[in-house]
């Protein structure tokens, strides 16, 4: 990237392990990696001093609070650039003032002091990488002036070819959800199950398959709901006709792209980042976070004829093919270069 970014050194500060999508972004711009070894706050504070101080650009996977602190106390270069990748529910949690407590597995009010610190540091960012228009919109609620790079997710090379070969059973009334816990609120598990219970009354043969690791609540155990844990998704892609993803602040939802590429029409909430892709398939596949409307959307799909379902299946695949790794990373490199140029131009 020297031909575009000059001799600027880029450090990617990430989780252990980093999210594979963010890792791909960072590698595409030849960033060096600093893996944060722990999420324990006390240990994290000790680790701050180990972060290399001689980089020009710090790209973070949620660790911008620490880098902002280092900059504030004068440990970094004077004109250092700090950019964070936003793909988690943090912005939505700030916006709604609700945060999921992982230890208690419950929703709680966002801690006031923590909220103020995060909001202050959001304003100190030089730029943001948002993986959807939704994330960009949420970021603007807390930082109205700084530069944003919007870049979507993509399907990994490993899955791309396999998913394209899938033939879904569009005549079935089986619904698929792919996602991992424990944050059930973020993934909309409660809303999905409550909606499904009503759908089941009208389509007794309907089944809801939930893939991923979850701490299962007793009230979620209902006829036709199957928590399958970590499984190979291929058998489920073959027997389902619809996928449902009711995210509350879901940055994008890579699994949405996967179900689309496999030919399964997917209904998403308007607070799921992938809705920008789903709208290209059909506006009726995007729903507000309203149980009645969700049920109506699913019933509308189930009641449609096979010709309509095949058309939606074909369009889903076609749209998902736009999200290829090489194509997205090429766009990312170009946009990242422009982001840095714009930030530096504004400083002059």
Number of domains, the chain = 2
CB 179 within 8 A of CB 255: yes
Cα–Cα dist 282/1, whole Å: 38
Same domain, 162 and 65: no
Same domain, 75 and 139: yes
CATH number of the domain within which 214 lies: 3.40.50.2000
68-89 burial, b if ≥16 CB within 10 A, otherwise e? Answer: bbbbeeeebeeebbbbbbbbbb
The DSSP bridge pattern shows strands 242-245 and 266-269 to be parallel
Same domain, 115 and 187: no
How far is CA 180 from each of CA 62, 75, 177, 211, rounded to the nearest angstrom? 19, 38, 10, 8
Same domain, 162 and 148: no
Same domain, 194 and 147: no
Same domain, 142 and 220: no
Q: Which helix (H) or strand (E) holds 242?
A: strand 242-245
Same domain, 330 and 250: no
Same domain, 104 and 231: no
The DSSP bridge pattern shows strands 174-178 and 207-211 to be parallel
Same domain, 31 and 99: yes
CB 22 within 8 A of CB 86: no
Two tokens, residue 237: 């892609």
For helices 157-164 and 254-261, the axis angle rounded to 10 degrees is 30
Cα–Cα dist 246/266, whole Å: 10
Same domain, 43 and 123: yes
CB 267 within 8 A of CB 304: no
The predicted pLDDT at position 1 comes to 43
Cα–Cα dist 248/238, whole Å: 27
Two tokens, residue 88: 């988690």
Domain of residue 103: give its range: 2-154+325-347
Q: Which helix (H) or strand (E) holds 268?
A: strand 266-269
pTM of the predicted model as reported, rounded to 2 decimal places: 0.92
CB 317 within 8 A of CB 165: no
Same domain, 24 and 148: yes
CB 273 within 8 A of CB 133: yes
Same domain, 140 and 264: no
> Across the 348 residues of the chain, what is the mean pLDDT of every consecutive 10-residue run?
72 93 97 82 74 95 90 90 95 96 90 94 95 97 92 92 95 97 94 98 98 88 94 96 97 96 98 97 98 98 98 98 96 97 89
């Amino acid at each position: 990237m020297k031909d575009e970014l000059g001799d600027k050194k880029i450090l990617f500060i990430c989780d252990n392990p980093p999210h594979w999508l963010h890792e791909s972004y960072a590698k595409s711009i030849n960033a060096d990696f600093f893996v944060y070894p722990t999420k324990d706050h006390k240990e994290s504070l000790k680790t701050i001093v180990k972060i290399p101080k001689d980089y020009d650009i710090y790209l973070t996977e949620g660790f911008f609070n620490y880098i902002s602190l280092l900059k504030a106390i004068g440990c970094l270069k004077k004109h250092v650039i700090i950019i964070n990748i936003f793909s988690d529910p943090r912005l939505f949690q700030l916006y709604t003032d609700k945060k999921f407590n992982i230890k208690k597995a419950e929703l709680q009010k966002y801690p006031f002091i923590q909220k103020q610190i995060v909001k202050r540091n959001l304003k100190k960012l030089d730029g943001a990488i948002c993986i959807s228009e939704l994330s960009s919109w949420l970021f603007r609620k807390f930082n109205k002036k700084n530069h944003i790079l919007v870049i979507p997710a993509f399907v990994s090379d490993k899955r791309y070819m396999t998913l394209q070969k899938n033939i879904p059973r569009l005549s079935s009334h089986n619904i698929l959800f792919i996602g991992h816990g424990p944050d059930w609120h973020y993934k909309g598990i409660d809303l999905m199950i409550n909606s499904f219970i009503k759908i089941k009354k009208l389509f007794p043969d309907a089944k809801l398959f939930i893939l991923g690791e979850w701490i299962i609540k007793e009230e979620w155990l209902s006829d036709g709901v199957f928590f399958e844990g970590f499984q190979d998704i291929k058998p489920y892609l073959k027997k389902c006709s619809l996928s449902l993803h009711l995210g509350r602040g879901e940055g994008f939802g890579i699994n949405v792209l996967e179900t689309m590429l496999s030919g399964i029409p997917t209904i998403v909430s308007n607070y799921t980042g992938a809705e920008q892709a789903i709208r290209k398939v059909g506006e009726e596949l995007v729903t507000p976070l309203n149980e009645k409307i969700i049920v109506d959307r699913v019933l509308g799909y189930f009641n449609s004829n096979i010709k309509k379902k095949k058309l939606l299946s074909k369009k889903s695949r076609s749209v998902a093919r736009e999200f290829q790794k090489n194509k997205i990373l090429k766009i990312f490199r170009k946009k990242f270069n422009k982001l840095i140029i714009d930030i530096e131009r504004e400083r002059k």
